[in-house]
Amino acid sequence: MARVVLGMIGLGTVGSGVVQLLNQHKHLQLKKIAVRDLDKERLSNPGCPITSDVSEIIDDPEVEVLVEVMGGEEPALSYIKRALAKRKHVVTANKEVLAKHGPSLFQLAREKSVTIFFEASVAGGIPLISTIQRGLGANQFSAVTGILNGTTNFILSNMEEKGLSYDAALAEAQRLGFAESDPSADVDGHDVAYKLSILAALSFQRFVKPADIFREGIRKITPDDLALAKEFGYRIKLVGTARNTRPGDKNGALAVRVHPTLVPLSHPLAAVSGSNNCILVTGDAVGEIIMVGPGAGSLPTASAVVGDIINLESALKLPDFASYFQPSITSEWAATASPGDWISPYFLRLSVADTPGVIGTIGTIFGNHQISIQSIIQRGVIAGRATIVILTHGVVGSDMDAALAELKQCAFLDSVVSAIRIYKPA
């Protein structure tokens, strides 16, 4: 079998898994690995030289494929561009670079007749990207939605199931290698926003600027929210969605959002625990399909990276194969729909004074803003203060914002403790 010569940047969680898997594929020759700190103690010998000078890889004419598993925006972006310019194929797990610079990177790859493979950038070990690109290629997609971050799913599951604090659950996710080097990328929803941008590009042919994606993270979710949600028959998950507001129309604005969401306990998303991911893809021909599996971690992610390398290695034997693997993504950024127009039911937790007329006033304010209450309970009266939990029917986002702003003017209200959207099928 012909050998394919690879150079890799990064030997952390993912890079170490790639080295381990490549040991089982000897015809894929890993020639050199670049790292940041040559003096760092490594758990095992990678079986090839290590350097701190990436030029030894990017400028080596024998290296056909750059495997980029270092992460972050810069200098990863510059390294990928230099490799593409030298007509090397790129296999990357870097969702941040793809989400922020996808249009120009795919344009450069087209110009140089090389390919970018990126299965590991979304949903770790789940072969989601190749499924959307190839297996579901006959479909027009209306929505892609799901749990796309292993760290936050691990944190929420462990807070609920094991009673761990947020900090203890995050520390455990970091120890297990799921979390990004800066965990705010996970817990504040940036990581999911990057993944949604990539999924939008594959499903709707247009990347979405990460800054245009509505984003709320999980920092404010408390054990009380999780317990109360469960009482009402829901579990709280960080759910990301990309939806074409005009299915079938290539210019339709995209509604792209990531935020904590109450999911009915009977829904498949509610059953996904730990660092697993779960994605629902809706196509006009196939209907809805669901994919579940490990969304992060060393070997699951390496499985996607090495799978890409093996695909690339088979394709390298074919003439002009690069055009086959170039996704049909336009170089225009997508227009996004305003969050104020979205309709969702809500879960609200209010801290109020336990005085006559409070529930009546809340009902009046909500009624004035076309908000219909589905259920309401009062809990935990302590020292004259009480918690009111409200579940609403579907509400236009701007109506909910206006109602909450009016409520905050009321003397009886201490605070709106939580306002979390409830899952509504895309």
Q: What residues line the site for ligand HSE (CB under 6 A)?
A: 124, 149-151, 178-180, 186, 191, 295-296
Six-digit token string for 373? 């209450």
The secondary structure of 83-139, three-state, reads: HHHCCCEEEECCHHHHHHHHHHHHHHHHHCCCCEECHHHCCCCCCHHHHHHHHCCCC
Q: Contact between 71 and ligand NAP (CB under 6 A)?
A: yes
Smallest distance from ligand HSE to CB 179, Å? 5
Report what 149 binds from ligand HSE, ligand NAP, none; CB cut-off 5-8 Å by kind: ligand HSE
Q: Contact between 40 and ligand NAP (CB under 6 A)?
A: yes
Catalytic residue chosen out of the listed positions 32, 100, 195, 237: 195
User: Considering beta carbons, is residue 40 or 385 the nearer one to ligand NAP?
Assistant: 40
**DSSP per position, 300-344:** HHHHHHHHHHHHHHHHTTSTTTHHHHS----SSPPPB--GGG-EE
The Cα–Cα gap between 361 and 346 comes to 18
Q: Contact between 90 and ligand NAP (CB under 6 A)?
A: no
Write the burial class of residue 342 (CB in 10 Å: 0-12 exposed, 13-18 middle, 19+ buried).
Answer: buried
| Cβ atoms 422, 234 nearer than 8 A | yes
Within 8 A by CB and 6+ apart from 271, the residues are: none
Smallest distance from ligand HSE to CB 423, Å? 20
Closest CA to 2 of 48, 65, 52, 72: 65
Judged by CB under 6 A, the residue of 67, 69, 156, 187 near ligand NAP is 69
Smallest distance from ligand NAP to CB 31, Å? 16
Q: Contact between 120 and ligand NAP (CB under 6 A)?
A: yes
| Cβ atoms 241, 257 nearer than 8 A | yes
Number of residues that bind ligand NAP (CB under 6 A): 29
Stretch that binds ligand NAP, among 29-37, 102-110, 219-227, 241-249 (CB under 6 A): 29-37
Smallest distance from ligand HSE to CB 153, Å? 8
Judged by CB under 6 A, the residue of 117, 118, 178, 207 near ligand NAP is 178
The Cα–Cα gap between 237 and 403 comes to 25
Give the torsion sign (CA, 207, 211, 215, 216).
Answer: positive
Chain positions 121 to 160 lying near ligand NAP, rule: CB under 6 A, are 124
Closest CA to 240 of 299, 307, 194, 308: 194
Judged by CB under 6 A, the residue of 158, 197, 282, 301 near ligand NAP is 301
Residue 317 is among the residues annotated as catalytic for this protein: no
Smallest distance from ligand HSE to CB 384, Å? 43
> Residue 32 gets which letter from DSSP?
E
Judged by CB under 6 A, the residue of 22, 94, 207, 254 near ligand NAP is 94
Note the residues at the interface with ligand NAP (CB under 6 A): 9-15, 34-37, 40, 54, 69-71, 75, 93-95, 120, 124, 177-178, 180-181, 296-297, 301
Q: Which residues have a catalytic role annotated? A: 195
